[in-house]
Structure 1
Amino acid sequence: MPSDAAGVPHESAPAFVRGNPIVSAGYDFPTFVGRARPYLLAESPRSGSQLLADLLWRTGRMGAPGEYFNREHTIPALTQRLGLASIDGPGGMDAYIRALVRHRTSANGVFGVKAHFSQLRPHLDDPSVRALVRGSRIVWLRRRDLVAQAISYLVALQSDEWRRLRGRDGATFQGRYSWRDIDRAVGMIAADERCWQVGFEQSGITPFVVWYEDLVADPDPACRGICALMGVADGLPPFALAASPLERQADPVKEEWLRRYRQTLDWGPKSPRARSAARAT
């Protein structure tokens, strides 16, 4: 847990790049008793949610937002550590959410969670989950360039490097380019985005939108806006990329895949494809 409102040094973050650190006790706050004020970071893969969540957590006043509805990793690990029964049993999800609120709510009553729509979807029929979502302020993380987002997802999937610490070189990655895989990933992300949009429209929700491209250029406006949304405004430090141990995972492979994918779609008169066809005739 952050020691003060000014944040904590990088070294205090518990094993940030190993395993699934959000399940560790290092992200617990002192036991909270009372009514929490929740917020939801509505995300899709590779939308900057890890960076945003880390910067918010480091204030010590915005809870510890994590993917608490990840059935593959987070739910099994946290239910075991917190001594809970399966969420699939009677009252299991309600007990799980109550335990999260007790341990992951900052002293000022702010509780954060982040989720892909695909993670939240299986639980939307549960009354406890619906109550949590209905009672939350919503922050929607988006990327303007869905192709770049899809490529980032595929590179992470192939390399199994989902986050990188500042100052540490990632493993050399060549990867396997596939136009079809990129196209499928674009469709998956677009479908996730559409589900969030329809859900917000049907629920009459106007989310606070954060664009990835703006976040990585300067995180301060987005972070301050979210804090203000939750009534946390005074005494905040400047939000800067250097405050997080996470580093943007830009590399030449992604740029090359982006170039190849877009070149495949380019049928204009000056495109390489058109010039090649002209030479053939």
Structure 2
Amino acid sequence: MSDWDQFGADYDFPDFDGQPNTYVIASTPRSGSHYFGHLLRKTGALGSPLEYFHPGHVETWKQKLGVSTLEGLIACLFRRRTSPNGWFGAKAHWSQFEPLLQNERAFQAINFSRYIHIIRRDRLAQAISLVVARQTASWISFHAVRRTPEYDFGAIQTALSEIDAQSDQWEGFFSSRRIDPMIVEYEALLADPEEAVTGVLAYVGHHGPATGAASSPEPQRQSSGINVEWKERYLADLNSTAC
């Protein structure tokens, strides 16, 4: 979908003044966080939790909004991406969250008060999805597939290691800060999206009706027969290399 624009007005709310309540979807690549963020946005009560702190997105936002600092960018995002009830959300993989954490002024400015940790129990399926996305350059369903993916045992092993490392870093952060995040499982999210969203609304203390946000494109699940085939092939290859 070439006309999708995460920087455009589709994800804006009426201008918000003041300091919002904030939350982050703490994620790892291919954990369903983008899909989940769109579901939360549809409530109209949880902001527009997109990937604001991806390095490339930060620079695009700065240019678009005419700001030079991360703190200035956060203030502008608060104004346009906070829902009327005062909630602003973002999603971030650890590799995007860590630089924000190291920028003390910016981290204090955003002041996350809630953490939602989305996890995927089937790490192998997650790693395969990551390899497919890297090869095709289609990270979400809005992106065109640029080339046909090719099975790569080593790339899947590398992806597994990367996902495990990021998961460990999130766990270490939560433990060191004594944070008890809300856990959302990818598999449960797919089985019952409404229950997951209702749980988040309760977690942030929103007890009124979810009014709904203006319509915007919705991402679709990208898994295909290739993912299933690669999983079977990987397990067979792994078994053949075992002592």
**TM-score (ref. length: structure 1):** 0.78
1:117 aligns with 2:94: yes
Q: Which runs of 5+ in 1 are unaligned?
A: 1-16, 86-91, 268-272, 275-281
| 1:202 to 1:120, Cα distance in 2 relative to 1, 3 A | same
Partner of residue 16, structure 2: 32
Q: What is the correspondence of 1:84-95 to structure 2 with a 5 Å cutoff?
A: 84-85=67-68, 92-95=69-72
Partner of residue 255, structure 1: 228
Could you list the runs of 4 or more consecutive aligned residues of structure 1 that deviate by over 3 angstroms after TM superposition? 17-20, 132-135, 170-174
1:207 aligns with 2:184: no
User: Which residue identity lines up with residue 21 of structure 1 in the other structure?
Assistant: D
Partner secondary structure for residue 220 of structure 2? coil
- In the TM superposition, residue 19 of structure 1 has moved relative to its aligned partner by 7.2
Deviation string, structure 1 residues 228-270 (Cα, Å, up to 9, x no partner) = 11222332389xxxx9732211211111110011112226xxx
Question: Is the contact made by 2:40 and 2:197 (CA closer than 8 Å) also made in structure 1?
Answer: yes
Q: Which runs of 5+ in 2 are unaligned?
A: none
- In the TM superposition, residue 123 of structure 1 has moved relative to its aligned partner by 2.6
| 1:175 to 1:228, Cα distance in 2 relative to 1, 3 A | same
Question: Is the contact made by 1:174 and 1:253 (CA closer than 8 Å) also made in structure 2?
Answer: no
User: Which residue identity lines up with residue 91 of structure 2 in the other structure?
Assistant: K
The percent identity for this pair of structures is 36
Q: Which has the higher contact order (CA 8 A, sep 6+)?
A: 2
Question: Is the contact made by 2:40 and 2:46 (CA closer than 8 Å) also made in structure 1?
Answer: yes
Partner secondary structure for residue 40 of structure 1? strand
Candidates 100, 103, 108, aligned match of 2:85: 108
Q: What is the correspondence of 1:1-281 to structure 2 with a 5 Å cutoff?
A: 17-18=1-2, 21-72=5-56, 74-85=57-68, 92-131=69-108, 134-164=111-141, 174-236=148-210, 245-266=218-239
CA distance in 2, matches of 1:201, 1:123: 18
Which is worse superposed, 196-205 or 48-57? 48-57
Deviation string, structure 1 residues 89-144 (Cα, Å, up to 9, x no partner) = xxx12111111111111111000011001012123221233325653200001000
Q: What is the root-mean-square deviation of aligned Cα atoms in Å? A: 2.4
